[in-house]
């Protein structure tokens, strides 16, 4: 089978590896029909994380079950399924909450060096009754891919931001997660969403969706627009030192900063005294993917939540190197890339 591998900064190749085997009686093998490139994949591509050896990339996949272990109950051979990017053991009290982050054995993420990468022809999935779900009727391939990570992450970011009905929210970073968070903030009752990014095309896309576009540095503009008070909530979908600092100073006293961006390995100089004096709540979230599905699927099926336009380009798996270069350009035309094995 073919698998997308990163060997170092800006060094992507499509490797040929042996086909996977079942991980156990509770596992399945999936023939991947579509995989997404996530912003967090770019941390490996851009050299933010050290690598002792090449890593098979990707944690967003949908496809067809081609083999299933005897203990698998919820999906079967021939089913079109989506796979949660975040994985747990599926059998502990933590996983019983439908939140893989709570797994007593510790969470894992596909394509991070422990579990196999999802940008591949064939993907082995353990604890399939927990990790995989048959794609419901009325859910498109693009929507299903977003449900495996980006939409679940953006939705959780909005949930944990404590957005008051009619309130103001600032979303920093308008990649796929940020745009999902923007739509989710409106769905959670925000009247005004400030959309912060440096890329004009992404700002325009956010404006088309009803947000107020702002180029960074954003603190002054947000304070000015809110009478000096700040936004009720700030969602940081970037998590650089600069974006985190902006988020903490753009939120109102007593407000919440919800962070779902992936920081690098360096310590962040947290302005603790200012946050203490202003009673700021800061929440960091790895998405409880499976727990979001019962909420998000009906919203997508009914059209109450719209995520069309987040995938902007589709390329074959063989063109993975070009796809990663396109994603890393962070242009206004290209937000999220879909790979087709």
DSSP one-letter string for 207-221: HHTT-EEEPSS-HHH
Q: What is the pLDDT of residues 38-92, one digit of tens each?
A: 999 999 999 998 888 999 999 999 999 999 999 999 999 999 999 999 999 999 9
Residue 110 has a pLDDT of: 98
- Give the closest residue to 158 by CA, choosing from 179, 185, 186: 185
Q: What's CA 305's distance to the chain center, in Å?
A: 17
What pLDDT was estimated at residue 115?
Answer: 96
Retrieve residue 32's tokens: 């991947």
32-36, 138-142, 169-173, 264-268: range with lowest mean pLDDT: 264-268
**pLDDT of res. 173:** 97
Torsions phi, psi for 295 (to 5 deg) = -85, -45
Average pLDDT, the chain: 97
User: What does the pLDDT read at residue 52?
Assistant: 84
216 pLDDT more than 90? no
What are the distances in angstroms from CA 275 to CA 216, 255, 271, 280?
A: 21, 10, 6, 5
Start-to-end CA distance of the chain, whole Å, equals: 10
Structure tokens at 215: 């180029």
Angstrom CA distances, 1 to 16, 18, 268, stand at 6, 6, 41
Handedness of CA 261, 265, 269, 273 (dihedral sign): positive
| Mean pLDDT value across residues 321-332 | 95
Angle 176-187/200-208 helices, nearest 10 degrees? 20
pLDDT value at residue 50: 85
- Write down the pTM of the prediction: 0.96
Confidence of residue 134 (pLDDT cuts 50, 70, 90): very high
217 preceded by cis ω (within 30°)? yes
**Half-sphere exposure for 323 (CA within 13 Å, toward CB):** 31
Question: How many helices (DSSP H) and strands (DSSP E) are in the chain?
Answer: 11, 18
Beta 28-36 vs 61-68: how paired, if at all?
antiparallel
pLDDT digits (tens, 9 = 90+) for 278-316: 999 999 999 999 999 999 999 999 999 999 999 999 999
Could you give all domains of the chain from N- to C-terminal order, each with its CATH number?
2-149+288-339 (3.90.180.10), 152-284 (3.40.50.720)
Tell me what the mean pLDDT of segment 207-228 comes to.
95
pLDDT of residue 217: 86
3-state DSSP call for residue 53? coil
pLDDT of amino acid 100: 97
């Amino acid at each position: 089978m073919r698998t997308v591998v990163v060997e170092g900064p800006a060094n992507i190749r499509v490797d040929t590896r042996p086909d996977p085997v079942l991980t156990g009686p509770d596992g399945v093998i999936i023939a991947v029909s579509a995989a997404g490139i996530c912003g967090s994949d770019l941390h490996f591509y851009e050299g933010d994380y050290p690598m002792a050896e090449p890593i098979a990339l990707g944690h967003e996949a949908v496809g067809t079950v081609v083999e299933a272990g005897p203990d698998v109950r919820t999906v079967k051979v021939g089913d079109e399924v989506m796979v949660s990017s975040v994985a747990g053991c599926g059998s502990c009290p933590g996983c019983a909450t439908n939140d893989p982050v709570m797994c007593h054995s510790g969470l894992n993420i596909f394509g991070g060096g422990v579990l196999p990468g999802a940008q591949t022809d064939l993907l082995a999935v353990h604890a399939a009754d927990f990790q995989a779900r048959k794609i419901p009727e009325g859910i498109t391939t693009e929507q299903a891919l977003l449900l495996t990570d980006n939409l679940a992450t953006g939705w959780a970011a909005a949930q944990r931001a404590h957005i008051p009905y009619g309130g103001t929210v600032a979303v920093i970073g308008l990649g796929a997660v940020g745009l999902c968070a923007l739509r989710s903030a409106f769905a959670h009752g925000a009247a005004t969403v400030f959309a912060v990014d440096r890329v004009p095309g992404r700002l325009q896309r956010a404006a088309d969706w009803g947000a107020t576009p702002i180029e960074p540095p954003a603190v002054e503009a947000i304070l000015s627009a809110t009478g000096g008070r700040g936004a009720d909530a700030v969602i940081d979908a970037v998590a650089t030192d600069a974006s985190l600092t902006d988020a903490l100073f753009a939120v109102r006293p007593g407000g919440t900063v919800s962070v779902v961006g992936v920081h690098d390995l360096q310590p962040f100089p947290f302005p603790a005294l200012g946050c203490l004096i202003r009673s700021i709540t800061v929440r960091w979230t790895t998405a409880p993917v499976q727990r979001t599905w019962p909420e998000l699927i009906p919203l997508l099926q009914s059209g109450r939540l719209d995520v069309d336009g987040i995938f902007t380009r589709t390329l074959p798996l063989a063109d993975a190197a070009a796809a990663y270069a396109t994603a890393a350009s962070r242009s206004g035309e290209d937000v999220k890339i879909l790979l087709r094995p």
